[in-house]
Structure 1
Amino acid sequence: MTAAEALRPDLARELVDRATKAATRRAGRVRNHLDGVRLGQGRHSDHADANWLRRILAEYGWPGHRLVGPDAARAAWSIALHSDDQPDFQRTATILLERAAKAGDARIDHWAHLHDRALITNGRAQEYGTQLLLNHDGITPCPLRAPESVDERRATVGLPPITVALEAVRRRYAPDLLADDAPTVVLAEVA
Protein backbone atom coordinates (compact mmCIF):
# COMPACT_ATOMS: atom_id res chain seq x y z
CA MET A 1 0.00 0.00 0.00
CA THR A 2 1.33 3.40 -0.94
CA ALA A 3 0.47 6.76 0.57
CA ALA A 4 -1.77 7.39 -2.46
CA GLU A 5 -3.76 4.21 -1.67
CA ALA A 6 -4.12 5.10 2.00
CA LEU A 7 -7.44 6.42 3.25
CA ARG A 8 -5.75 9.73 4.19
CA PRO A 9 -2.86 10.40 1.79
CA ASP A 10 -2.72 14.00 3.03
CA LEU A 11 -1.94 12.80 6.57
CA ALA A 12 0.53 10.30 5.15
CA ARG A 13 2.47 13.02 3.36
CA GLU A 14 2.52 15.25 6.45
CA LEU A 15 3.68 12.41 8.72
CA VAL A 16 6.50 11.41 6.39
CA ASP A 17 7.57 15.04 5.92
CA ARG A 18 7.65 15.73 9.66
CA ALA A 19 9.48 12.49 10.49
CA THR A 20 12.05 13.02 7.72
CA LYS A 21 12.87 16.51 8.94
CA ALA A 22 13.09 15.27 12.54
CA ALA A 23 15.43 12.43 11.53
CA THR A 24 17.74 14.94 9.85
CA ARG A 25 17.78 17.06 13.02
CA ARG A 26 18.48 14.00 15.20
CA ALA A 27 21.34 12.89 12.94
CA GLY A 28 22.99 16.27 13.50
CA ARG A 29 22.40 15.97 17.23
CA VAL A 30 23.90 12.47 17.43
CA ARG A 31 26.92 13.61 15.47
CA ASN A 32 27.15 16.75 17.63
CA HIS A 33 26.88 19.10 14.64
CA LEU A 34 24.29 21.45 16.11
CA ASP A 35 24.92 24.68 17.93
CA GLY A 36 22.78 25.65 20.91
CA VAL A 37 20.26 27.59 18.85
CA ARG A 38 19.68 24.78 16.34
CA LEU A 39 19.51 22.25 19.17
CA GLY A 40 16.77 24.32 20.84
CA GLN A 41 14.94 24.73 17.54
CA GLY A 42 15.08 20.98 16.99
CA ARG A 43 13.63 20.27 20.41
CA HIS A 44 10.88 22.82 19.77
CA SER A 45 10.11 21.14 16.44
CA ASP A 46 10.01 17.68 18.09
CA HIS A 47 7.57 19.05 20.65
CA ALA A 48 5.42 20.62 17.91
CA ASP A 49 5.45 17.34 15.94
CA ALA A 50 4.30 15.43 19.02
CA ASN A 51 1.50 17.94 19.62
CA TRP A 52 0.41 17.61 15.99
CA LEU A 53 0.44 13.80 16.27
CA ARG A 54 -1.51 14.06 19.54
CA ARG A 55 -4.35 15.74 17.59
CA ILE A 56 -4.22 13.00 14.95
CA LEU A 57 -4.44 10.31 17.64
CA ALA A 58 -7.41 12.05 19.23
CA GLU A 59 -9.25 12.17 15.91
CA TYR A 60 -8.31 8.84 14.30
CA GLY A 61 -6.61 6.64 16.87
CA TRP A 62 -3.26 5.23 15.78
CA PRO A 63 -2.50 6.24 12.16
CA GLY A 64 -1.93 2.71 10.94
CA HIS A 65 -1.35 1.05 7.59
CA ARG A 66 -4.95 1.33 6.41
CA LEU A 67 -5.27 5.04 7.23
CA VAL A 68 -1.87 6.32 6.08
CA GLY A 69 0.13 3.39 4.67
CA PRO A 70 3.19 1.64 6.12
CA ASP A 71 5.72 4.43 5.51
CA ALA A 72 3.59 7.06 7.21
CA ALA A 73 2.69 4.64 10.04
CA ARG A 74 6.43 4.25 10.60
CA ALA A 75 6.76 8.04 10.56
CA ALA A 76 4.05 8.34 13.24
CA TRP A 77 5.91 5.77 15.32
CA SER A 78 9.15 7.74 14.96
CA ILE A 79 7.49 10.97 16.08
CA ALA A 80 5.95 9.25 19.12
CA LEU A 81 9.23 7.47 19.91
CA HIS A 82 11.09 10.77 20.12
CA SER A 83 8.51 12.65 22.20
CA ASP A 84 10.45 12.15 25.43
CA ASP A 85 9.45 15.55 26.78
CA GLN A 86 5.78 14.44 26.79
CA PRO A 87 5.65 11.15 28.73
CA ASP A 88 1.85 11.20 29.01
CA PHE A 89 1.56 11.44 25.24
CA GLN A 90 4.15 8.69 24.79
CA ARG A 91 2.14 6.36 27.06
CA THR A 92 -1.09 7.14 25.18
CA ALA A 93 0.62 6.53 21.84
CA THR A 94 1.95 3.21 23.18
CA ILE A 95 -1.56 2.05 24.09
CA LEU A 96 -3.00 3.05 20.72
CA LEU A 97 -0.10 1.52 18.81
CA GLU A 98 -0.51 -1.75 20.72
CA ARG A 99 -4.20 -1.88 19.77
CA ALA A 100 -3.35 -1.21 16.13
CA ALA A 101 -0.63 -3.89 16.14
CA LYS A 102 -3.01 -6.45 17.64
CA ALA A 103 -5.53 -5.56 14.91
CA GLY A 104 -2.86 -6.08 12.22
CA ASP A 105 -2.76 -2.38 11.35
CA ALA A 106 0.73 -1.64 12.72
CA ARG A 107 3.98 -3.44 13.39
CA ILE A 108 4.39 -5.18 16.74
CA ASP A 109 8.13 -4.44 16.79
CA HIS A 110 7.32 -0.72 16.57
CA TRP A 111 5.10 -1.15 19.61
CA ALA A 112 7.96 -2.90 21.49
CA HIS A 113 10.32 0.01 20.77
CA LEU A 114 7.75 2.60 21.85
CA HIS A 115 6.81 0.58 24.93
CA ASP A 116 10.47 0.41 25.97
CA ARG A 117 11.00 4.10 25.29
CA ALA A 118 7.95 5.06 27.38
CA LEU A 119 9.24 2.90 30.25
CA ILE A 120 12.71 4.50 30.10
CA THR A 121 11.22 8.00 29.82
CA ASN A 122 9.27 7.28 33.00
CA GLY A 123 12.33 6.01 34.90
CA ARG A 124 11.50 2.31 34.65
CA ALA A 125 13.44 -0.63 33.22
CA GLN A 126 12.67 -1.58 29.64
CA GLU A 127 11.29 -4.98 28.57
CA TYR A 128 12.78 -5.67 25.12
CA GLY A 129 16.20 -4.00 25.21
CA THR A 130 15.49 -1.64 22.32
CA GLN A 131 16.65 1.57 24.02
CA LEU A 132 20.38 2.12 24.09
CA LEU A 133 22.82 4.60 25.48
CA LEU A 134 25.40 5.87 23.02
CA ASN A 135 28.48 7.69 24.29
CA HIS A 136 32.21 7.74 23.69
CA ASP A 137 32.60 4.64 25.90
CA GLY A 138 30.38 2.55 23.63
CA ILE A 139 26.79 1.39 23.32
CA THR A 140 24.91 -0.25 26.16
CA PRO A 141 21.25 -1.05 26.75
CA CYS A 142 19.36 1.26 29.08
CA PRO A 143 18.21 -0.48 32.30
CA LEU A 144 16.57 -3.78 31.42
CA ARG A 145 14.12 -5.91 33.40
CA ALA A 146 15.16 -9.58 33.68
CA PRO A 147 18.04 -9.44 31.19
CA GLU A 148 18.43 -13.23 31.30
CA SER A 149 15.11 -13.67 29.45
CA VAL A 150 15.26 -10.66 27.12
CA ASP A 151 15.85 -12.76 24.00
CA GLU A 152 12.66 -14.75 24.65
CA ARG A 153 10.68 -11.52 24.99
CA ARG A 154 12.33 -10.07 21.88
CA ALA A 155 11.38 -13.16 19.87
CA THR A 156 7.69 -12.66 20.72
CA VAL A 157 7.74 -9.28 18.94
CA GLY A 158 9.92 -10.29 15.99
CA LEU A 159 13.19 -8.76 17.21
CA PRO A 160 16.56 -10.52 16.82
CA PRO A 161 18.62 -11.58 19.84
CA ILE A 162 20.03 -8.63 21.78
CA THR A 163 23.65 -9.44 20.85
CA VAL A 164 22.80 -9.28 17.13
CA ALA A 165 20.99 -5.96 17.58
CA LEU A 166 23.81 -4.44 19.63
CA GLU A 167 26.39 -5.44 17.02
CA ALA A 168 24.33 -3.84 14.23
CA VAL A 169 24.08 -0.60 16.20
CA ARG A 170 27.80 -0.65 17.04
CA ARG A 171 28.66 -0.97 13.34
CA ARG A 172 26.26 1.84 12.43
CA TYR A 173 27.56 4.30 15.04
CA ALA A 174 31.25 3.28 15.21
CA PRO A 175 32.55 6.51 13.60
CA ASP A 176 30.52 8.61 16.03
CA LEU A 177 31.88 6.72 19.03
CA LEU A 178 35.43 7.56 18.04
CA ALA A 179 34.80 11.31 18.07
CA ASP A 180 36.23 13.07 21.11
CA ASP A 181 33.13 15.22 21.47
CA ALA A 182 30.63 12.36 21.00
CA PRO A 183 27.49 13.20 22.99
CA THR A 184 25.54 10.89 25.26
CA VAL A 185 22.22 10.16 23.59
CA VAL A 186 19.40 7.69 24.14
CA LEU A 187 18.41 6.19 20.82
CA ALA A 188 16.20 3.45 19.46
CA GLU A 189 17.78 0.29 18.12
CA VAL A 190 17.92 -0.09 14.37
CA ALA A 191 14.84 -2.15 13.50
Structure 2
Amino acid sequence: MTSVRHWSELRVELLRRAGRDQEARRGLGDPPTSEQWDVVKAVDADNVPWLARIVAEHGWPRAELVGEDGAHAAWLLAQHAPLYLQQRWLPLLEQAVEIGQADPSDLAYLDDRVRIREKRPQLHGTQWLIRNGEERLYPVEKPNQVNRRRAALQLPQLADQDIASAWPHDAAFGDAPAEPL
Protein backbone atom coordinates (compact mmCIF):
# COMPACT_ATOMS: atom_id res chain seq x y z
CA MET A 1 0.00 0.00 0.00
CA THR A 2 2.68 2.49 -0.94
CA SER A 3 1.30 4.06 -4.09
CA VAL A 4 -0.59 7.33 -4.08
CA ARG A 5 -3.69 5.49 -5.24
CA HIS A 6 -3.59 3.16 -2.26
CA TRP A 7 -3.04 5.98 0.22
CA SER A 8 -5.99 7.90 -1.22
CA GLU A 9 -8.10 4.73 -0.90
CA LEU A 10 -6.98 4.41 2.71
CA ARG A 11 -8.00 8.03 3.33
CA VAL A 12 -11.47 7.35 1.92
CA GLU A 13 -11.83 4.25 4.09
CA LEU A 14 -10.66 6.10 7.22
CA LEU A 15 -13.22 8.83 6.58
CA ARG A 16 -15.99 6.28 5.93
CA ARG A 17 -15.22 4.42 9.15
CA ALA A 18 -15.00 7.64 11.18
CA GLY A 19 -18.40 8.62 9.81
CA ARG A 20 -19.87 5.29 10.92
CA ASP A 21 -18.25 5.76 14.34
CA GLN A 22 -19.86 9.15 14.82
CA GLU A 23 -23.23 8.06 13.44
CA ALA A 24 -23.34 5.18 15.95
CA ARG A 25 -22.66 7.60 18.82
CA ARG A 26 -25.02 10.36 17.68
CA GLY A 27 -28.03 10.68 19.94
CA LEU A 28 -26.84 8.27 22.63
CA GLY A 29 -28.89 8.52 25.77
CA ASP A 30 -27.50 9.21 29.25
CA PRO A 31 -27.04 6.36 29.90
CA PRO A 32 -27.21 4.70 26.47
CA THR A 33 -29.79 1.96 26.02
CA SER A 34 -28.47 -1.56 25.55
CA GLU A 35 -29.59 -1.40 21.91
CA GLN A 36 -27.69 1.86 21.34
CA TRP A 37 -24.61 0.45 23.04
CA ASP A 38 -24.82 -2.73 20.91
CA VAL A 39 -24.65 -0.60 17.75
CA VAL A 40 -21.61 1.30 19.08
CA LYS A 41 -19.85 -1.93 20.08
CA ALA A 42 -20.52 -3.48 16.65
CA VAL A 43 -19.03 -0.48 14.84
CA ASP A 44 -16.00 -0.48 17.14
CA ALA A 45 -15.60 -4.26 16.72
CA ASP A 46 -15.27 -3.67 12.98
CA ASN A 47 -13.19 -0.47 13.05
CA VAL A 48 -10.61 -1.27 15.73
CA PRO A 49 -9.14 -4.49 14.28
CA TRP A 50 -9.07 -2.86 10.87
CA LEU A 51 -7.10 0.14 12.19
CA ALA A 52 -4.83 -2.20 14.17
CA ARG A 53 -3.92 -4.00 10.93
CA ILE A 54 -3.26 -0.72 9.13
CA VAL A 55 -1.02 0.59 11.92
CA ALA A 56 0.82 -2.75 12.24
CA GLU A 57 1.52 -2.87 8.51
CA HIS A 58 2.17 0.82 7.74
CA GLY A 59 2.62 2.75 10.98
CA TRP A 60 0.45 5.61 12.10
CA PRO A 61 -1.57 7.15 9.21
CA ARG A 62 0.27 10.43 8.68
CA ALA A 63 -1.25 13.54 7.14
CA GLU A 64 1.21 13.55 4.22
CA LEU A 65 -0.14 10.13 3.20
CA VAL A 66 -3.85 10.22 4.06
CA GLY A 67 -4.50 13.95 4.38
CA GLU A 68 -5.21 15.89 7.55
CA ASP A 69 -8.79 14.64 7.62
CA GLY A 70 -7.64 11.03 7.19
CA ALA A 71 -5.09 11.38 10.00
CA HIS A 72 -7.81 12.90 12.20
CA ALA A 73 -10.14 10.01 11.31
CA ALA A 74 -7.47 7.52 12.42
CA TRP A 75 -7.26 9.34 15.76
CA LEU A 76 -11.04 9.18 16.13
CA LEU A 77 -11.03 5.42 15.66
CA ALA A 78 -8.16 5.15 18.17
CA GLN A 79 -10.20 7.07 20.74
CA HIS A 80 -12.62 4.14 20.83
CA ALA A 81 -10.07 1.32 20.89
CA PRO A 82 -9.18 -0.81 23.92
CA LEU A 83 -6.68 0.69 26.32
CA TYR A 84 -3.82 -1.63 25.35
CA LEU A 85 -4.05 -0.45 21.72
CA GLN A 86 -4.33 3.19 22.75
CA GLN A 87 -1.18 2.74 24.85
CA ARG A 88 0.60 1.17 21.86
CA TRP A 89 -0.53 3.86 19.43
CA LEU A 90 0.04 6.90 21.65
CA PRO A 91 3.84 7.04 21.00
CA LEU A 92 3.20 6.63 17.26
CA LEU A 93 0.78 9.54 17.26
CA GLU A 94 3.26 11.54 19.33
CA GLN A 95 5.98 10.90 16.73
CA ALA A 96 3.61 11.97 13.95
CA VAL A 97 2.87 15.20 15.83
CA GLU A 98 6.59 15.85 16.34
CA ILE A 99 7.19 15.77 12.59
CA GLY A 100 4.08 17.81 11.77
CA GLN A 101 2.08 14.87 10.42
CA ALA A 102 -0.78 14.84 12.96
CA ASP A 103 -2.77 17.42 14.88
CA PRO A 104 -1.35 18.19 18.35
CA SER A 105 -4.86 18.49 19.77
CA ASP A 106 -5.55 14.89 18.68
CA LEU A 107 -2.52 13.87 20.73
CA ALA A 108 -3.85 15.79 23.76
CA TYR A 109 -7.20 14.01 23.56
CA LEU A 110 -5.70 10.54 23.17
CA ASP A 111 -3.14 11.14 25.91
CA ASP A 112 -5.85 12.33 28.30
CA ARG A 113 -8.08 9.38 27.36
CA VAL A 114 -5.26 6.93 28.11
CA ARG A 115 -4.48 8.65 31.41
CA ILE A 116 -8.13 8.56 32.51
CA ARG A 117 -8.44 4.90 31.61
CA GLU A 118 -5.27 4.23 33.63
CA LYS A 119 -6.94 6.14 36.51
CA ARG A 120 -4.37 8.94 36.36
CA PRO A 121 -5.13 12.67 36.14
CA GLN A 122 -5.30 14.09 32.63
CA LEU A 123 -2.92 16.81 31.44
CA HIS A 124 -5.01 18.84 28.99
CA GLY A 125 -8.53 18.81 30.40
CA THR A 126 -10.14 17.18 27.36
CA GLN A 127 -12.07 14.42 29.15
CA TRP A 128 -15.39 15.04 30.86
CA LEU A 129 -17.67 12.76 32.81
CA ILE A 130 -21.44 13.14 32.85
CA ARG A 131 -23.33 11.72 35.80
CA ASN A 132 -27.04 12.29 36.23
CA GLY A 133 -26.88 15.13 33.73
CA GLU A 134 -24.02 16.87 35.54
CA GLU A 135 -20.90 17.41 33.42
CA ARG A 136 -17.52 17.74 35.11
CA LEU A 137 -13.90 17.39 34.16
CA TYR A 138 -12.07 14.27 35.13
CA PRO A 139 -9.21 15.19 37.51
CA VAL A 140 -6.44 17.31 35.98
CA GLU A 141 -2.76 17.10 36.93
CA LYS A 142 -1.54 20.49 38.16
CA PRO A 143 -4.78 22.31 37.27
CA ASN A 144 -3.11 25.71 37.60
CA GLN A 145 -1.02 24.80 34.52
CA VAL A 146 -3.73 23.25 32.32
CA ASN A 147 -4.44 26.38 30.28
CA ARG A 148 -0.73 26.82 29.55
CA ARG A 149 -0.59 23.23 28.28
CA ARG A 150 -3.77 23.77 26.24
CA ALA A 151 -2.41 26.98 24.69
CA ALA A 152 0.69 25.13 23.52
CA LEU A 153 -1.60 22.87 21.46
CA GLN A 154 -3.93 25.64 20.22
CA LEU A 155 -6.77 24.30 22.41
CA PRO A 156 -9.20 26.86 23.84
CA GLN A 157 -8.72 27.87 27.44
CA LEU A 158 -10.83 26.24 30.14
CA ALA A 159 -12.89 28.61 32.24
CA ASP A 160 -11.94 28.79 35.89
CA GLN A 161 -15.32 27.35 36.87
CA ASP A 162 -14.70 24.33 34.61
CA ILE A 163 -11.39 23.62 36.31
CA ALA A 164 -12.90 24.18 39.74
CA SER A 165 -15.78 21.79 38.96
CA ALA A 166 -13.49 18.84 38.29
CA TRP A 167 -14.61 15.70 40.07
CA PRO A 168 -12.52 14.85 43.10
CA HIS A 169 -10.06 12.10 42.18
CA ASP A 170 -11.85 9.28 44.04
CA ALA A 171 -15.31 10.37 42.93
CA ALA A 172 -14.27 10.55 39.28
CA PHE A 173 -12.53 7.22 39.11
CA GLY A 174 -14.55 5.22 41.64
CA ASP A 175 -17.37 4.17 39.34
CA ALA A 176 -16.48 5.83 36.07
CA PRO A 177 -17.30 3.92 32.90
CA ALA A 178 -14.44 1.65 31.81
CA GLU A 179 -14.98 2.57 28.16
CA PRO A 180 -15.45 6.31 27.57
CA LEU A 181 -17.70 7.13 24.64
- Which residue of 120, 125, 128 maps to 1:132? 128
- Taking only the aligned residue pairs, the percentage that are identical comes to 33
In structure 1, list runs of 5 or more residues that go unmatched. 167-183
Alignment partner, residue 161 of structure 1: 157
* Amino acid in structure 2 at the alignment position of 1:88: Y
- Asked if the contact 1:7/1:67 (under 8 Å) is kept, the reply is no
Question: What does the per-residue CA deviation read over 1:95-138, in whole Å, with 9 as the maximum and x for residues that have no partner?
Answer: 11110010111111110111000111121111100011124443
**Structure with more relative contact order (C-alpha pairs < 8 Å, separation 6 or more):** 1
- Which residue of 61, 64, 71 maps to 1:63? 61
User: CA separation in 2, counterparts of 1:106 and 1:30?
Assistant: 32
Using the size of structure 1 for normalisation, the TM-score is: 0.76
What SS is found at the alignment partner of 2:100? Answer: coil
In structure 2, list runs of 5 or more residues that go unmatched. 163-176
* Amino acid in structure 1 at the alignment position of 2:94: E
Using the size of structure 2 for normalisation, the TM-score is: 0.80
Q: How many residues align?
A: 162
Cα-Cα RMSD: 2.3
Shift of 1:28: 2.7
Shift of 1:186: 4.4
Question: Which segments of structure 1 move beyond 4 Å, counting only runs of 4 or more?
Answer: 184-187
* Amino acid in structure 2 at the alignment position of 1:103: I
User: CA separation in 2, counterparts of 1:105 and 1:64?
Assistant: 5
Residue 114 of structure 2 is aligned to residue 115 of structure 1: no
Question: What does the per-residue CA deviation read over 1:30-68, in whole Å, with 9 as the maximum and x for residues that have no partner?
Answer: 566x64234223213213211111111111111011111
In the TM superposition, 1:49-60 aligns within 5 A as 49-60=47-58
